[in-house]
Structure 1
Amino acid sequence: MVRAHSRRRSLTVFLATSLSLLLLSPVTGLLHAPEARAEARGRADAAPDPKVTETPGTVSLSVPAGRTSPGYTVDVDKDAFLLTTRRAGATVLRSAAGDTGGLRFRSHGTWQHATGLTGWTFEGGVLTLTADTTLDGATVEARVTPEADRYALDWDVKGGSPDQLGLAYDLSSAGHWYGHGEADTPAGGPGVDQPWPLDAGEVEHENFGPASYSMIDPFWYTSRSTGLRVDTGHVMDVAINEGGKDGIGRFTVESADTYRATVFVESTPLEVYRDYIGIVGSPTKSDATYEQYAKPLWNSWAQFYTHVDQAKLLDYATDLKANGLDGHTIQLDDKWESNYGNLTFDSTAYPDPKAMSDKIHAMGFDFGLWVTLWINLDSANYQEAADKGYLLKDAEDPAKPCEVTWWNGTAGIVDLANPEAKAWYEGRLKTLMSTYDVDGLKFDTRFFDEKCAPHDGYKASDYQRLGSELADQFDLQGAGIRVHWDGTAHKAGFVTRQVDKGTGWDSLRASVSQNLAISTIGYPFIESDMIGGSLSQPAPSKDVLVRWAQSASLMPLMYGSTSPVDTVDVTTGQKVDYDQETVDLYREAIQRHERLAPYIWDQVQHTLKTGDPIMRPLFFDFPGDKEGYTVNDEWMLGPAVLAAPELAAGATRAVHLPPGTWYDVNQGTVIRGPRTLKDYAAPLGVTPAFVHLGAEGAAKAVKALRPRT
């Protein structure tokens, strides 16, 4: 009784504190609307004109501070042609020195770089620089165009027949590095590894381009509030901390075209992000509905992989329903087609698809299907599509269709830039949906491949837009779509699902840091990969599955597959039965997320006004808190909720709380930060979460997250 009285007293103190802070404290966080930012930008741009000065060793471009911009200087070292960006006298970004070189290019298979400055002019607001290089007969011309909070850096190589151009930076000069999106790493990324910050690990991402299956954008930002955007439609080769210790970031475009980049210089990383979003755009709507934010999507992939049929899917849905595992949709993934690209059911595995759909609807779920634009060569549709010119052409031989190899065989790809091909494909989708009462679709694979030639008048990056326009006609059921790079993808407001994860603790942790990376390159409506992972690994353990569900409950959306009732281990083919506690804790996570849905929906509406991310790193809200820049297992969900679920084996964890007043929803206590709680108790039934008192939405968050008794 004493303990219960103590908890009631703590709650009373909390409510009084919360109310006073809500009334008296200015609401801080991510609140500026685009119009306000544009107005502020206008004031910043009215700052005094930039100036260029020269000393014996340096040419310096200085941009004075404005009302909303910090001002900066770009120093060009004459001898080594190094570019150093400074803010308030401190270095915040410096190009790589030595044999790497800051402005580098490949000629006849050998890397070269700019060396000594040979001349400069400053006319029409553009600083033009010329430099020698390490290659005889080749020179560099670079143009620096300053604005209040950024500068454009465009450059070319004259002579030398280059085939690739790249920028290289000293990573440590800018502090820590973030952005990029899903990262290829030697440690298994993006499936089981995603370093956060990026410089804490190693990134070796070849084929970093607009046709990639990975969710990526050519944008990086740093803890010293600088950022880099490379404006290209070509494939890049990105290497960060190569070898895990070289301390250099290389951003190489695989083309001899003019290298076009923007370097942002701001006061906080959040402002760098906002500057970037000001260029590429932010969502104009949310493709997902309130219900799709509130309840999980259940997809068959990790539960069955391709070993699925009508009876198994209905049994799956029945078990979920019987155990109170709520959701808005049952989505049938790969393999339901007679052949890939036919868009017809395999009649042996699915003797009565309409009856299957009806039974799923009768349980209260919507019904969805996995689809792809890739038509296998052995599909009945392939020859028709090839004969009518509906497929992308081969880049080397445009007289024939492009053939691409994927995880399910060899295929052609429907050319969405061909109006007749697009209409043919859409017509077949709509017929399929109306015949079997299909409510929505999960589009998979890519819309283009670099082996193929774009349609006349189009470029490779246009296919991101074309894919977005296609998918936007259909309910994507919270599975979203993996389009990126082109600004249309940012504006479309799709849910973004991660690339497949493994089923271990490493993948669970990667799912968190990867969401932070995707969210902060401009895709705010994010979800983890399927709860529990897949990637053809052994079925997740009870603890991994439960902890993953708890983690996902504090993200914008939940995406389920592995049933906490039972599943099949794909590596053995054996059934795996979970216990009742697994079901109960998974259900509890679903219910927590649904209670949190009104708060999450508020954040969706806020994002539509501002472009700000919903799930974000601690330092976006608390830029002055140095410790927050390396925290990779916590995040802010909107301005009020700090999520710190257990992401490893064990029953305790350390929790870092930034400055402010925090309500511990599990303990019912109020804590003042900054503070690190060592050995915070987190047994399997506890999901650590804290509410920032005084932040917008705090009352709703407390109501949702406080444990039910």
Structure 2
Amino acid sequence: MMRRLKPVLATVGMVLAGCAVAATTSSRATSLESTATESLLSVGASRAAPAFEVAIQRSPFRLVTRQHGKTVLQTTAAEPAAIDFDTASGLVGTTNVRDVTWQDGAVSIEVDTTDPGRRVRVRLAPEDDGYRLTAHVLGETQAKLDWVALHYDMPASGHWYGHGETKTRNGGPYTEQAWPLDRPGELGGRPLDTAFAPASYNMVEPFWFTQSSAGFVMHTTQLMTVSMGAYQDKVAGFAVHDTESLDASVFVGHTPRDVFGNYVALAGKPAESDATDVQYEKTVWNSWGQFYADVTQKDFLDWAQKIHEADIPSHTVSLDDGWMSHYGDFTFNEKFPEPKVMSDRIHAMGYHFGLWVTLWINLDADNYQLATNRGYLLKSKDDANVPCTVTWWNGKAGIVDLANPEARAWYLGELHALERNLGVDGFKFDTRFFDERCAPYTPDLTMRDYQRLGADMARGFDLQGMGIRTHWTGAQRDGFVIRQIDKGTGWDSLRSSVTQNLALATVGYPFLATDMIGGSLDQPPPSKQVLVRWAQVAAAMPVLYSSTSPRGYDEETVRLYREAVQLHGRLLPYILRQKDRAIAEGEPMMKPLFFEFPHDAAAYEITDEWLLGDSLLAAPVVADAKARHVHLPEGTWFDVTQRRTLRGPTDLRDYPADLDTLPLFVRMGTRDEAALMNAFQ
């Protein structure tokens, strides 16, 4: 027989990544009942969220979250333990529950471990959208713990999503993206990131959600190690380094879209979009994928002129890496004898002119000694008297410390001089704003704070539709276009660019571009088919980002590339409405089918279709083929290519799609039906 302890009304406060967040008050009816084998925390329904329960299993310790009697989230119990941590004498894990009590509006759980001298205190506090889960290691500690980890049983929740760009052992996030996260990427890699942190160059978020309409966010600004089945099959592990505690909010919703909404409510929705209307309408050209760093002034201008002659709607031509005399010196090398002439030529064609820049100053740069002498660089963690030296793809460097007001003013002065003297209209900011091997300007600053400093700095410039790569809970508010990490130039990278944007959209970043159309990554140029199909993929996404010129191929390639960009332009009124909705509601501009159709089981495994807004379904060809399978969810759909109306749910086998065909379907009966049908006349 269960022993009922007491019903309660819980009031809980929240802190997000070091910054205050409005307190969450839960008025949900709550009770705790116990037997010899488990305690059951029951939480009643709220206006926005369903009722749920958490079973606290005693031997071994495990947390099982259920909704309507069905498990939606479940920790492991053993091998690995639900919670484990690293000590000087080895790995220690939770074993059996010693005691369960109700204290101060929350369930307090004392759990024994494999080390008799240590216990873990777990606390579950009901909240309006789920519950707060905290854990703290207790006992005599000879040395600081390296990490504390929480483990979940992945199959118990169906498919997993969130995370952002997935680092894998097989090429992720560059040539593969594991999505859903419980399945390996196309090349066989499972997500494994040992540097999952705000300072990462990868776009990552400490938020995960599941097909079963549950999810959670880790509240930390520390370095994490995240494994989605990479260390142990079917086990998701989340280790927070340099701590003795874990802090997470667990969400329970009616649908996966609800759980995403819980995270957006916490992280914030964009206050604005940094891209202008014309940057949504036309494409930006950046020289990287065309030349890499082997670009010259002559080559750059010839490339721009041929793009201009191809009459492809464009707004900016941007010079990427390869122009600096040394990395960190804002002077042009001998390959660019007349930079002002180059800028003027681009302007004469009717485009804005952009430049690639970095905060990283190489040791051989003239500015390195200047910045060192003036104390402008981040300091070493080991020796505060010397700059922090980091290795990147262009050598060894120091990093301008944006938290130092004098360093920031100097760096901004260099950029403004380029604008003033050469007519530079905007910048592509590359590399990171901080490195975890460095020390912050003051001890109270975190890696997340440096993301904020970078965002604040970049906001003062035209980012020309290429945006920046800032992330971690709260960065969603900035509203930057997010360009995904470099891709290769093959079919695998094209497919990964689709799933990676779906991953980024569903952690709160609505304004997205793929890597430059056709890819890059120092690989040979894409085939004609990859380039055209990539342009078609990008046409049904929020923002276009180009590099490889179709003029290097045949006239059909030029025509099909142009048509893809023109199609995107015809969709501009619809795209801008989705942009405004993202600002007002936090709704993704592009999203997986299951966001709109949560009861469509097939939608959870589709990786090459998406919705742009609520009303346009894109199903591009992303393989060397002239046909594909198309899944249409429930409702009435207009087939743009074949000019017919279809009733879903239905599966179109071997849908014909020659190189000049982008399969698109308009969802009938929505408010945007008329506008879309007009665009496709």
Check whether TM > 0.5.
Answer: yes
Change (3 A) 1:646 1:160: farther
Contact kept? 1:340, 1:379, Cα under 8 Å: yes
Match of 1:141 among 89, 110, 121: 121
- Which residues of 2 match residues 160-559 of structure 1 at below 5 A? 161=141, 162-201=145-184, 202-242=190-230, 246-346=233-333, 348-456=334-442, 457-487=444-474, 489-559=475-545
Q: CA deviation at 1:241?
A: 1.3
After superposition, the C-alpha distances for 1:339-362 in whole angstroms (9 at most, x for unaligned) are 11111111x211111111111011
Q: SS of the counterpart of 1:198?
A: coil
Which stretch shows the higher mean deviation, 333-342 or 690-699?
690-699
Q: Does the 8 A contact of 1:464 with 1:486 survive in 2?
A: no
Superposed, 1:46-85 pairs within 5 Å as 48-85=28-65
Counterpart contact for 1:295–1:328, Cα < 8 Å = yes
Give yes or no for contact 2:124–2:131 (8 Å, CA) kept in 1. Answer: yes
Distance in 1 (CA, whole Å) between partners of 2:135 and 2:596 is 35
Q: Give the match's secondary structure for 2:77.
A: coil
**CA contact under 8 A between 1:47 and 1:64: conserved in structure 2?**
no
Secondary structure, counterpart of 2:314 in structure 1: coil
1:256 to partner: Cα distance: 2.1
SS of 2:571's equivalent? helix
SS of aligned partner of 1:200? coil
Backbone CA RMSD of aligned residues = 1.3
1:616-650 residue CA offsets vs partner (Å, 9 max, x unmatched): 10001111111100000000100101010000011
Aligned residue type for 1:555: M
- Tell me the residue number matched to 1:602: 577
Question: Is the contact made by 2:28 and 2:128 (CA closer than 8 Å) also made in structure 1?
Answer: no
Preserved contact between residue 462 and residue 486 of structure 1 (Cα < 8 Å): no
Is this contact kept in 2: 1:320–1:326, CA < 8 A?
no
Q: Which residue of 2 aligns with 1:25?
A: none
Report the secondary structure of 1:565's partner residue.
helix
Deviation digits for residues 308-358 of structure 1 (CA, Å, limit 9, x no counterpart): 111111101110011112210000000111111111111x21111111111
The alpha-carbon distance between structure 1 residues 109 and 330, as it changes in their structure 2 partners (threshold 3 A), is farther
The CA distance in 2 between the partners of 1:198 and 1:459, in whole Å, is 28
Distance 1:48 1:496 in 2: 38
For residues 678 and 662 of structure 2, what CA distance do their matches in structure 1 show?
15
Q: Distance in 2 between matches of 1:109 and 1:301?
A: 49
TM-score, normalised to structure 2, is 0.94
Conservation of the 8 A alpha-carbon contact between 2:137 and 2:244? no
Match of 1:613 among 583, 588, 594: 588
Q: Is the 8 A contact 1:71 1:149 kept in 2?
A: no
Aligned partners of 1:183 and 1:190 also within 8 Å: yes
- Number of aligned positions between the proteins: 650
In the alignment, the residues of structure 2 paired with residue 226 and residue 530 of structure 1 have an alpha-carbon distance, to the nearest angstrom, of: 34
Q: Calculate the TM-score normalised by the size of structure 1.
A: 0.90
Q: Which amino acid aligns with 2:365?
A: S
Give, as a single letter, the amino acid of the residue that structure 1 aligns with 2:50.
P
Displaced runs of 4 or more, over 4 A: 44-48
Structure 1 CA distance, aligned partners of 2:146 and 2:397? Answer: 30
Q: What is residue 591 of structure 1 aligned with on the other side?
A: 566
3-state SS of paired residue (2:383):
coil
1:684 is the counterpart of 2:659: yes
Question: Are the aligned partners of 1:329 and 1:368 in contact in 2 as well (CA < 8 Å)?
Answer: yes
**Structure 1: 5+ residue stretches without partners:** 1-41, 567-577
User: Displacement, 1:505?
Assistant: 0.4
CA contact (8 A) 2:76 2:152 kept: yes
Q: Secondary structure at the match of 2:603?
A: helix
2:634 equivalent to 1:659 = yes
Q: Which amino acid aligns with 1:623?
A: P
Q: Counterparts in 2 of 1:631-650, with a 5 A limit?
A: 631-650=606-625
Q: Displacement, 1:67? A: 3.1
After TM superposition, the structure 1 stretch with the greater mean CA deviation from structure 2, 681-690 or 106-115, is 106-115
- Asked if the contact 2:94/2:113 (under 8 Å) is kept, the reply is yes
In structure 1, give the amino acid aligned to 2:34.
E
Considering Cα pairs closer than 8 Å and 6+ residues apart, tell me whether 1 or 2 has the greater RCO: 1
Amino acid at match of 1:702: M
Deviations 1:641-683 (A, max 9, x none): 1010000011010001111110100011111111111100011
Q: What is the CA–CA distance in structure 1 between the aligned matches of 2:468 and 2:217, rounded to whole Å?
A: 23
- CA separation of 1:656/1:45 partners in 2, compared to 1, >3 Å: closer, same or farther? farther
Q: Aligned equivalents of 2:99 and 2:551: distance in 1?
A: 71
Q: Distance in 2 between matches of 1:274 and 1:475?
A: 30
Distance 1:452 1:193 in 2: 30
Q: Secondary structure at the residue paired with 1:115?
A: strand
Distance, in Å, in 2 between the alignment partners of 1:525 and 1:110 is 45
- Residues 643 and 117 of structure 1: CA distance in aligned 2, closer, same or farther (over 3 Å): same
> In structure 2, what residue type is equivalent to 1:101?
A
Q: Judge conservation of contact 1:303–1:563 (CA < 8 Å) in 2.
A: yes
Residue 189 of structure 1, CA deviation: 0.5
Q: Which amino acid letter does the alignment assign opposite residue 480 of structure 2?
A: F
Q: 111, 114, 123: which one pairs with 2:103?
A: 123
Q: Aligned residues: percent identity?
A: 50
Maintained 8 Å contact 1:634/1:645: yes
List gaps (5 residues or longer) in structure 2: 1-21, 185-189
CA separation of 1:641 and 1:50: change in aligned 2, threshold 3 A: same
Q: State the shift of 1:694 in Å.
A: 1.4
- Report if aligned partners of 2:26, 2:127 keep a CA contact under 8 Å in 1: no
Query: What is the rounded CA distance, in whole Å, between the counterparts of 2:282 and 2:177 in structure 1?
Result: 27
2:214 is aligned with what amino acid? T
SS at match of 1:328: strand
Task: Confirm or deny: 8 A CA contact 2:608 2:622 kept in the other structure.
Answer: yes
Partners of 1:165 and 1:701 lie apart in 2 by 51
AA of the residue aligned to 1:322: E
